[in-house]
């Protein structure tokens, strides 16, 4: 037997499912492989990345995201490969996506490269109906889903140099129904389109201070256009501080520190600029990146992306 409360909660989850769809990140510029497979291998070394994000702290059922990825160029070839795992929890849902990325890079000029990427992914979707407290636990229309499998493919392009980048990507081309009853499609995975770009400026002759504005535009059917803009400063190639603004959604502070040549730690804090701010204490995002350098050589590229 269906209840009004049950459908209210379901519609709440549906709203956030359509509004957010793919997991969102404040520090997307360091985690680009999750949205653009052409990024694989672009850093020139084996790069290991882990991130944890807890969103809207204090709001029951709010999103929590854990991400792990690794990508590397293949020897001295133009080929890059990557793998990633993303676990995304929202309310009664728990999704795990495993992806493999392949890129091919062309040198288009002395300074710029153009990379093409393909992504293959497998999604496992779980829904725990009991967390919604339906009146009739035995209603056959509303049963748990365990590891519902759906495959997907994606693609992207990435144009970059040591100081600039722009990328366009679609991580998932295939739309799928995650959960539906006989009468309604309640949770549907939609196509997400991403456009990102940034540029690094040297603010002094000694290059001790670098400034990088960046932007990410995300479009998905049925949701408002999402625009993230950020401004970050790097000091002595060790410490990073900046701010980010998600249009009509949140304002964020970002800090990071290059602990060693290979190890980088970053943290971001978001505060909502909408009425949702009254019901949570903000969002936290922390990540670690470790990179393996050959022959102890250091990358000359500013490590903003």
In the chain, what are the domains? 32-133+143-292 (2.40.160.40)
Closest CA to 208 of 235, 240, 181: 235
**How far, in Å, CA of 243 to CA of 233, rounded?**
9
The predicted pLDDT at position 24 comes to: 82
The predicted pLDDT at position 203 comes to: 87
Q: What is the pTM of this model?
A: 0.85
The predicted pLDDT at position 133 comes to: 64
The predicted pLDDT at position 222 comes to: 77
The predicted pLDDT at position 130 comes to: 73
What stretches in the chain show pLDDT beneath 50? 1-20, 296, 300-302
**How far, in Å, CA of 242 to CA of 202, rounded?**
16
The predicted pLDDT at position 93 comes to: 87
The predicted pLDDT at position 13 comes to: 46
The predicted pLDDT at position 10 comes to: 42
How many Cβ atoms are within 10 Å of 130's Cβ, its own excluded?
Answer: 10
The predicted pLDDT at position 138 comes to: 58
The predicted pLDDT at position 181 comes to: 57
Q: Exposed (0-12), middle (13-18) or buried (19+): which is 21, by Cβ within 10 Å?
A: buried
């Amino acid at each position: 037997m269906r209840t009004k409360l049950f459908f209210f909660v379901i519609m709440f989850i549906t709203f956030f499912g359509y509004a957010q769809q793919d997991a969102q990140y404040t520090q997307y510029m360091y985690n680009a492989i999750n949205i653009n497979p052409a990024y694989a291998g672009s850093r020139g070394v084996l790069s290991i990345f882990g991130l944890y994000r807890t969103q809207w702290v204090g709001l029951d059922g709010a999103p929590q995201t854990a991400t792990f990825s690794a990508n590397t160029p293949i020897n001295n070839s133009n080929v890059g490969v990557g793998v990633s795992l993303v676990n995304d929890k929202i309310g009664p849902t728990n999704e795990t996506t495993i992806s493999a990325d392949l890129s091919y890079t062309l040198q288009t000029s002395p300074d710029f490269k153009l990379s093409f990427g393909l992504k293959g992914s497998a999604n496992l979707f779980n829904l725990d109906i009991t967390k919604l407290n339906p009146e009739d636990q035995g209603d056959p229309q509303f049963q748990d889903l365990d590891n519902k499998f759906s495959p997907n493919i994606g693609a992207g392009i990435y144009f970059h140099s040591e100081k600039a980048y722009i990328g366009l990507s679609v991580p998932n081309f295939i739309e799928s129904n995650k959960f539906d009853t006989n009468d309604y499609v309640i949770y549907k995975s939609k196509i997400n389109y991403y456009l990102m770009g940034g540029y690094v400026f040297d603010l002094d002759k000694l290059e001790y201070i670098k400034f990088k504005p960046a932007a990410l535009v995300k479009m998905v059917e049925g949701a408002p256009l999402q625009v993230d803009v950020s401004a970050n400063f790097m000091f002595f190639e060790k410490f990073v501080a900046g701010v980010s603004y998600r249009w009509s959604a949140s304002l964020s502070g970002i800090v990071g520190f290059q602990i060693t040549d290979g190890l980088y730690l970053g943290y971001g804090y978001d505060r909502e600029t909408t009425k949702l701010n009254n019901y949570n204490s903000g969002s936290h995002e922390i990540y670690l990146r470790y990179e393996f350098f050959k022959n102890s050589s250091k990358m000359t590229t500013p490590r903003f992306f």
